[in-house]
Structure formats: C-alpha cells, structure tokens
Structure 1
Amino acid sequence: MGNEDRQIFLRKIPGVDRLLGSEEIQGLARTHPRALILKAIHQVLEDLRARILEGGIEDPKDLDIAAVLTKVRERVEDLARPSLRPVINATGVVAHTNLGRSILAERVIDRFRSLAGGYSNLEYDLKEGRRGSRYVHVEGILRELTSAEAAMVVNNNAAAVLIALETLAKGREVIVSRGQLVEIGGSFRIPDVMRKSGATMIEVGTTNKTHLKDYEEAIRPETALLLKVHTSNFQVIGFTKEVPLAELAELGRRYGLPVMEDLGSGCFVDLDAFGLSREPTVQEVLAQGADLVTFSGDKLLGGPQAGIILGRRDLVEAIRGNQLNRALRIDKLTLLALEETLRLYRDPKEAIQEIPTLRMILQPLEELRRKARSLMDMIGLGEGAALGVSLCDGSSKVGGGALPLLELPTCLVCLDPGKMTAQSLEKALRASDPPVIARVEHERVMLDVRTIQTGEMTIVAQTIHRIARGMR
C-alpha cells in the first residue's frame, strides 16, 4: 500500500461525532457511562490509524461505520468488564495459587452480606462499651482448636514469619538448617525474609543432612531463635536426615532459646487417616514443643489469605506489640471468613464436607468418575462433531505449595481438538465468559472434574458446545 492509498484509507475512518450520533452508540449510552464510550471510540480509532499506517488494512469495508461500530461495542464491553473475574478451574489443582487458592465455604459466603454491608464490632468491646482488639474474633477459636496459649493473625504467612523474626531476633542470629531454605511463590525466599527482618541467618548442616549437634555447635550468646521450616513445597528424598521437632524443642529448652516452626500450609485434619501423604497438623507441632508456629489460612486450612501465629503467650504478646503489626494486620472481611472457617473445624466431619478445599482433596475416585461421565453426557457431541470427547484416568494436585509429591487419582474429560490445535482450543476455553481454565497434555485438552464445581458443569458443557459450533 502506497502513501496515497494510506491517506485515502485514513480519510474513510468515521469521525467521533458520527459514531456518537449512531443508534448503536445511543443504545450503549443507556447502560454505560459516556466517558467509557468515548474512551472505547478513541482507542478503536487509534488502532485503525495504526493498522493503516502499518499496511495492516487492505479491505475498505473494514472502515465502514457498521464494522467500526462493532469494534466499538466490543471494546466498550471489554473496558466495562471487571479485571477480577470468576473463572472455572478445570486444571485439577485444588488450591491453585494463580486462581485464588482456596474456595470459601458456603457458610462463610452467607455471612458476608450482613457484615460487609454494615457496621460491626471489629474493634469494639460490646461488654465494656469501649475500644477493643480485632484479634479477639479469632484468638479464642484458634486456642480452642489447637490448645495454643495465644494466637494472632496477619495478612499472610510471609508476613507472619517476617514480624515474628523482626520481633524476636532483630540484630541477633537465627539458626536454620541449610536444607530448609525454601523459596515460595513469587520468588519470596526464607533467607530474604530473614534479611528484611534484621535477623542474621546462621545456616547449619548440608542440603540433605542436618544433625542435632549442628544446631548445638552453632549456638552462642548472639543466638535468639532456632527455626525449623517445613518443606511443604518440595521434598528431598534418598540419603537424608533432619532433626525431629521434639528434639529441637528440647535443645531450645536446654539453652533457653525459643523454637519456631514455619509450617507454610497449616492443616488441622490428619490427612494420613484418609490414606494421603503424611502432613504434620498444627496441633501435633504445638504438642511436640514448638514455642511458635506460623502457617497460611488459605492453603490446606481452606480459608482466606492470612498468616496465623500460635504459641507461647509471652512471644505472641511481644509480636502483637510490634509497630510493624499495624502495617500487616488483616481487615474485617478476612477476619469474618477466617472465623467462620475455623468454626467449621469444631466438627471435623462437618469441616470435610463443608470446606471446599478438603472436600475436593478427599473426593473418592468413583465419585469423580460419575461426575466426569455426567459432564460428557451433558456435552453430548455425537459422531461427526468437530471435537472429540472421551474419558481417561489422570491425577490431580493439592496445589498452593502443599504436598508436592501427592498424586490424587482422578477422572478427566478429554477433548480432541479435531482440526484445531490443542493450544487453540485451550485458548478458546480461556477466552469464554466465564473463562474455563484447563490443561493441555498429549495434544489434547484435559478437564479435571475434581475442581469443577457442581453448579459449573452446565456452563462448561455449553461453552464446549459453542466452540464446537464455531468450528463447523
């Protein structure tokens, strides 16, 4: 395309006033703010000018007012759509870090309207009629469930570790096994968190083996704390050795040093009783002598994002008095969600049934197979369809950095993309409304029904139908 042709095409672009005066834009104006519509128009026109100058438009029909209005309408809808949106998790990763981790229980959601839409006693003591503490709303139930002397909550587990180390070991030394220097999601590393706290990390042992004498030989007057980090997001297997918490706690008592364990994914239910991988519970860690325990509220616990700190009263009270606590505290909605989730744990059977994270992890394979067959029947694509649908066995993951080696047997609905590529089909599912997030394996798109909620089954089936019709 020559320069003269470009100029002709540029002059064919409809003007802003002409677009604003059209019936279609007038209709959009009844449901969308004028400023949003103007923004969409300017963006579409700028895109058209750029494409013309790059030689990307060769058909003048692309510049007709009807074609441009279609682009404006699509852009308005795109701009009006919230950035944070619901998605359907068909990946089989239960506590999916990128998809919001744990789903809250229905009982938690039911309480949001009354507390989110009105005032509450967040920091008001109703009995005394004066200012109170926000932490009382969860401290009692945490102590009840774990037998800890004291409890407090901050906004995530990294913050819990940071404020604990800053309070107890700033300017002093913390002894930790070299094999426990983990990196969690987003490239946050235990050594970096420790450095920010002002504590000096003293590494002992080797990557695969650490002995009790390694800790003891490193203790000196500058030592403030013995730290154990549960490697919940990886495992070292083979020729290995780590010091049991009970032995480390005894060493700490002998030298008058507190022992802290960062559990990462705190769990209140014994998963071993259900035939799953061994994962220490919070109750066990406290019973084994840990003076302080930190863990997340939104992984195996199945609640909202939070960092929970349990342990000796004097240590927790010192942490609570740290001025950094003001910057790390959680809001009323997180407290609401955490309290209601914790209340479910008063009856472990009820917790397993009502907390979605636990329910999905413990879902029996036969139940998953029935669910997968039901979804395939709902999709209902017969012979000659553009997509092929079948069932196959596979495995799910717990996710959230928990139980990394655990493979949960599952049943998958497998989509053969036909003339499409598997990547194109996955992208089409992801571009639907709501987006369906699946995984690609062996040139097929896999839908793991473990993480597809019952109320989402029809939506997934309809989405696949639309894509198949479009392929025809």
Structure 2
Amino acid sequence: MPNQSQASATDHQPSTQPNFRLPQVELLLQQAFLAPYIDSLSRPLVTQVVRETLSELRQSEGFRTTGIDQTCLEAQIIARCQRLVRQRQTRLINATGTLVHTNLGRSPLNAELWDEVRELNTGYNNLELDLATGKRGGRKGLISPLLTSLTQAEDSLVVNNNAASLFLLLQEMAKGREVIVSRGEQIQIGGGFRIPDILALSGATLVEVGTTNITTAKDYLDAITEQTALVLMVHRSNFAIRGFTESPDIGEVARALPDHIVLAVDQGSGLTTETFAPDETSVRQYLKAGADLVCYSGDKLLGGPQCGIIGGRADLIKRLEKHPMMRTFRPSRIVYALLERLLIHKLNKSPAGDGIAQRTLSNPAAMQGRAERLMAALPDCFVQVPAQLVVGGGTLPDEFYPAPALACLDSRPAQQLLDALRELPVPVIATVRQQQVLLNMASLLEDDMDVLISQLKTLLKPEKDIEKTIEIPQAGHPLSISREAL
C-alpha cells in the first residue's frame, strides 16, 4: 500500500495557506504523492478520484466560505485512494482457524504446484491440440485417466465449480422431468444457493420424499413415476442433523432403482484419499456403492484450484460433455494445468498433492511450533489457550479438531484490536472469544510468519526500540510502511 506520510512529506512541502482556486486535474496527477496510487490503481481510476474530490469541494459550503489548503486537499484525495486500494485483491493472513475459508479465497494452493505450471501458462500450450495427429483435440488431457485412478470413475469432466456441476447434470439428465430429493437434503449454502431453486432453473421438477430427519429407501422407490428421471442425494455441506435420524444406504437404493433412472450424488466436499475424516463418504465409495454420477469440488478437501468435477458412467459423462452449456461452464487452461499436476502428486503420494486440510491435520506439531515462535518473538503479548479448527468451506460441518490459539494481551477493546489487525499492510483476520482477540495457529501458513511477527511487533509493542518501518513485499516490490500509516 502506498505510504502517504512519506510520499507527501518527503517529496514536496504543500502549502498550508487556504486557497479558493482549486488546481487543475492534470497538475495534481503530476504530483509525487499520487505516483504510488497510479501505480497500484491505474491512472484513469486515480483521475476519477481527483475529479470527484474537486467536484464535491466546489459544491461544498465550507470551500466557498473558507477555501482549502493544499495539505487538506491531498489528504482528501489520499483517503479516497486508500479506500480503493483496500478493495484490491490482496494477500492476507488467516488466523481464524477455518482452513477452507470461503471469504478468504478457500483453499490456498501449494506453491510447488503454482511453480510447476508457470511456464505452461505464460506461453502457448496444447490445450486443444492433439500432438500425435496435429489436429484439434479435447481439453481434458490427462485429467480423466488420473481421476479414474483416484476415484474409479469410468470417466470425468471438469467445470467452473460444483454448483455448475449440479446445474449441468440436472439440465442434461432431468430437464422437463422429475427429480426425487429427500426433504432433509434440500439445503442452502452460502450466497443463497438453494437446491430447490437450482432444480427449478434447470427445468426439472422437484419431488420431495421423506421428512427432515428420516428418509428411507422405500420413500425413494414409492415416489417413482413415468416422469422420474433422476434420484439426487445431496451432501449436507454446512449443517448436521443429530438424534432420531435415518438415511438409506446408497447401495440399497442403487440396487432397487430401475435401470433407466439415474442415481446422482452431490458429494460436495471432494474427499478422495484424505485420512482425517473417516466418517465422510468418499467419491470412490459412492461410485462403488452404485451411484451413476458424483459431483464434487476440486478446491476443498482435494486441494486444487476452484472447479467442479463430475465423475461416473462414461456414457453419461459423454452426454454432459456434448451439452451446449458445457462451453459456458468449462474452466481455463490454468485450472486444467493445476488440477493435472495436483492429481499426479496425489497419486504419487507426494506432499504437494495434499490439500490444506490434510497438510494441517497430519502435522499438529507445526501448529504448536508456530505458537511458540510467536510467543518467543513477542514476550508478554500472548497467552496460549485451547481452541479448535474446522475445515470449513461447506465440508465436515460436525467435525472439530483441537488447535492451539494465542489470546492477545492488549488493553484495547477486542473490536478495536480486531479492526487494527485487519488494517495492517498485510491484513490479519482473527476472531474474538470472550472479549479476547484470538490468533488461531491452525490456519497460519509458514510463509506468513515473518511478516506476521514484524507487523505485530509494531502493533502490539510500539516501544521506542522497535524499528519504525517494516518491509512488506507487494506486487513484487518491497514497500516501506511507517508506523503512522498503520
């Protein structure tokens, strides 16, 4: 983020005399204090900010009666630019304890994967070229055989996200016909995504069976009519039902359904070979039990880029690939490249094939190590407290795992400190429990630790012996941030 205090104070000394004549837009754009913002926001956007600021000033009663000095004018422009800078995609530090955080970009990609596909995506590649024949080829490359090895699906396809997977499936398999869904699985996830709404938009007719807490195989079979195209089972991605409940064995339903009715599962979480969720049904288990198609996310438990995957019967996948909507939903070459490399590493049992949840939960000592490092770097600033981590992102809604957290020993009110952490050059997103700000060690990344410690030394221990600037890399360049700007 541009350093407003250094830019304005060092590069020129603005006049403090009130002025009833505002400077020209172009003259302001040439001033040194705006150079960092032009760099980070673009000249047209900064020009718009300057024009809007001058226009509002001209119409204000305060300007007409007392004028404005250059320092105040610059401050107003800088404040507007700062608000825009905060809207940019920016790196931040996740100290919430939620590993797959929807608001924070979901799963962080393994840096090794990113490095491996760099040249593939900064030059040309064979995305739709068959190198053996020199003619146009398909987009999937090795994706399908890799997913077959991982999940035992006959064939698979990839789309933008799992919502697109489900919509495409319903459009092709059930438009104008009936889809049977348990009442206990008509879920809503973040952003207002509701299963009944998606069915309606796809042109399918929802047939409800069972009750909120109990649905049996007989409920599905009794609801079948000549118009039935599909039975859909949906993962309860963000809630759990306990107590007097019953759900049918998918194998029982699969064996009893007539051959012409498709059995589809919205598995959601993308569990494949991960070892930390023994009670969660994997994609392979659903297919082995008799599901014809299974939809799941590529960026949750699987650990890849954001995408949706449909795996299952080869004849049904071919139908989906030929649907006109497939072109709308197909992902970019970046997604294909990252997913392909992830799957290769996963099948080779390489650490680069593990998602953030598997990496974190398989190494609890690393969480404790981060806690000890922070406490050693900032003595008397924290006390360690027991906490929990969740996988998040619409997965494993009833699973909580132990994780260490550090409670901040700071005299400021919790909300004030929470806001201050979020306003750091590299924002830190924390939580509050019993009026104490907690930094959960589970979701911190090793690459975050140096920056986090430097920032917290300034925020939590502003003694005179602490250096007045910290170096925060942004957009490929080190940037000096003064304490006054924090």
Interval of TM-score (by shorter of Structure 1 and Structure 2): 0.7 to 0.9
Normalising by structure 1, we get a TM-score of 0.87
- Describe the SS at the equivalent of 2:266: strand
Q: Which amino acid is the alignment partner of residue 395 of structure 1?
A: Q
Q: Which moved more, 1:238-247 or 1:71-80?
A: 71-80
Q: Match of 2:114, as an amino acid? A: I
Kindly indicate whether residue 111 of structure 2 is the aligned counterpart of residue 106 of structure 1: yes
Give the root-mean-square deviation of aligned CA atoms.
2.9
Contact 2:384 2:404 in 1 (8 A): yes
| 1:400 counterpart residue number | 393
SS at match of 2:272: coil
1:244-291 deviations in Å (ceiling 9; x for gaps) = 111111112x454221111011111243xx4x4511111111111111
Q: 1:416 matched to which residue of 2?
A: 409
Helix, strand or coil at the partner of 2:394: coil
Which among 91, 94, 115 is matched to residue 96 of structure 2? 91
Distance (whole Å) between structure 1 residues aligned to residue 243 and residue 233 of structure 2 = 20
Distance in 2 of aligned mates of 1:193 and 1:169: 12
Q: Distance in 2 between matches of 1:351 and 1:371?
A: 21
Helix, strand or coil at the partner of 1:68 = helix
Q: 2:83, 2:134 → 1: CA distance?
A: 49
Using the TM superposition, give the Cα deviation of residue 376 of structure 1 relative to its aligned residue in structure 2, in angstroms: 1.9
Matched, 1:268 2:237: no
Match of residue 363 from structure 1: 363
The question of whether the paired residues in 2 share the 8 Å contact of 1:14 and 1:64 is answered with no
- 2:36 & 2:182 partners in 1: Cα distance? 62
Paired letter, 1:304? P
Structure 2 residue corresponding to 1:451, chosen from 443, 448, 462: 443
Q: Distance in 1 between matches of 2:404 and 2:21?
A: 53
- 3-state SS, counterpart of residue 456 of structure 2: helix
Distance in structure 2 (CA, Å) of the matches to 1:315 and 1:66: 67
Cα deviations by residue, 1:397-430 (Å, 9 ceiling, x for unpaired):
1100111121111111211330x22111111111
The separation in 1 between residues aligned to 2:335 and 2:29, in whole angstroms, is 47
Count of aligned positions: 447
Cα gap change, 1:344 to 1:31, in 2 (>3 Å): closer
Q: Give the aligned residue type for 1:358.
A: Q
Counterpart position of 2:174: 169
Q: Displacement, 1:348?
A: 3.5
Match of 1:41 in 2: 50
- C-alpha contact (below 8 Å) 1:174/1:225 kept by paired residues: yes
Alpha-carbon separation, structure 2, partners of 1:21 and 1:281? 57
Match of 1:192 among 194, 197, 215: 197
Q: Measure the CA separation in 2 of the matches of 1:208 and 1:246.
A: 20
Q: How far, CA to CA, are the matches of 2:250 and 2:21 in structure 1?
A: 72
8 Å CA contact 1:414, 1:447 repeated in 2: yes
Residue 436 in 1 paired to residue 444 in 2? no
Aligned-residue offset at 1:115:
1.9
SS of 2:432's equivalent? strand
Q: In structure 1, give the amino acid aligned to 2:398.
A: L
Rounded to whole Å, the distance in 1 between the matches of 2:25 and 2:265 is 65
Letter in 2 for 1:176: V
Residue 339 of structure 2 aligns with an amino acid whose one-letter code is L
Partner of 2:475: none
Who is 1:329 aligned against? 330
Report the counterpart of residue 242 of structure 2 in structure 1.
237
Relative to 1, partners in 2 of residues 1:188 and 1:291: Cα closer, same or farther, differing over 3 Å?
Answer: same
Amino acid at match of 1:186: G
Equivalent residue number for residue 292 of structure 1: 293
Q: 1:369 and 1:80, CA in 2 relative to 1: closer, same or farther beyond 3 A?
A: closer
Give the conservation status (yes or no) of the 8 Å contact 1:19–1:65: no
Check conservation: 2:58, 2:64, Cα contact below 8 A: no
Q: CA deviation at 1:76?
A: 4.5
- More divergent stretch after superposition (77-86 vs 240-249): 77-86
Q: Tell me if the contact between 1:89 and 1:99 (Cα under 8 Å) persists in the aligned partners.
A: yes
The 5 Å alignment of 1:203-352 reads 203-252=208-257, 254-271=258-275, 274=276, 276=277, 278-348=279-349, 350=351
Q: Distance in 2 between the 1:462 and 1:30 partners?
A: 27
Is contact 1:176–1:226 with CA below 8 Å preserved after alignment?
A: yes
User: What is the identity percentage for the equivalent residue pairs of Structure 1 and Structure 2?
Assistant: 36
Q: Give 3-state SS (helix, strand or coil) of 1:128's partner.
A: coil
Cα distance in 1 for partners of 2:295, 2:389 equals: 27
The 5 A counterparts of 1:25-174 are: 25=33, 35-46=44-55, 48=57, 53=61, 63-73=68-78, 75-76=80-81, 79=84, 83-174=88-179
- Structure 1 residues 137-146 or 71-80, which shifts more? 71-80
The 2-side partners of 1:213 and 1:155 are apart by 35
Call closer, same or farther: CA 1:441–1:239 in 2, change over 3 Å.
same
* Residue identity in the other structure for 1:142: L
Q: Deviations over 1:22-61 (max 9, x none)?
A: 86458669958654553343344356567x54x7999x7x
Quickly say closer, same or farther: Cα 1:31–1:351, change in 2 above 3 A.
closer
Structure 1 equivalent of residue 375 of structure 2: 376
Could you say if the C-alpha distance between residues 326 and 219 of structure 1 is closer, same or farther in structure 2, counting changes exceeding 3 Å? same
Q: Distance in 2 between matches of 1:101 and 1:422?
A: 26
Structure 2: how far apart are the matches of 1:102 and 1:289? Answer: 30
Q: Is the 8 A contact 1:300 1:357 kept in 2?
A: yes
Q: Which runs of 5+ in 2 are unaligned?
A: 1-16, 463-482
Conserved 8 A contact 2:38-2:46: no
SS of the residue corresponding to residue 299 of structure 1 reads coil
Which residue identity lines up with residue 436 of structure 2 in the other structure? R
Instruction: Determine the C-alpha separation between the residues in 1 that align with 2:419 and 2:34.
Output: 33
Deviation at 1:147, TM superposition (A): 1.5
Q: Which moved more, 1:78-87 or 1:196-205?
A: 78-87
CA 1:219–1:130: 2 relative to 1, 3 Å: same
Do the aligned partners of residues 264 and 57 (structure 1) sit closer, same or farther apart at CA in structure 2, a change above 3 Å counting? farther
Q: Aligned partner of 2:273: which letter? A: V
Correspondence for 1:181: 186
The one-letter code of the counterpart of 1:20 is L
The alpha carbon displacement at 1:16 in A equals: 3.1
Cα distance in 1 for partners of 2:242, 2:301 equals 23
Change (3 A) 1:405 1:255: same
Q: Secondary structure at the match of 2:172?
A: helix
Query: What secondary structure is seen at the aligned counterpart in 1 of 2:117?
Result: helix
Deviations 1:323-352 (A, max 9, x none): 111111111111111111111211346356
CA shift at 1:112, angstroms? 3.4
3-state SS of the aligned residue for 1:345? helix
CA contact (8 A) 2:127 2:141 kept: no
Find the aligned partners of 1:49 and 1:338 in 2 and give their Cα distance. 54
Per-residue deviation, residues 332-380 of structure 1 (Å, max 9, x unmatched): 111111111111211346356x53332023332x4322211111222x2
Is contact 2:371–2:405 with CA below 8 Å preserved after alignment? yes
Q: Is the 8 A contact 2:160 2:331 kept in 1?
A: yes
Greater Cα offset, 408-417 or 342-351: 342-351
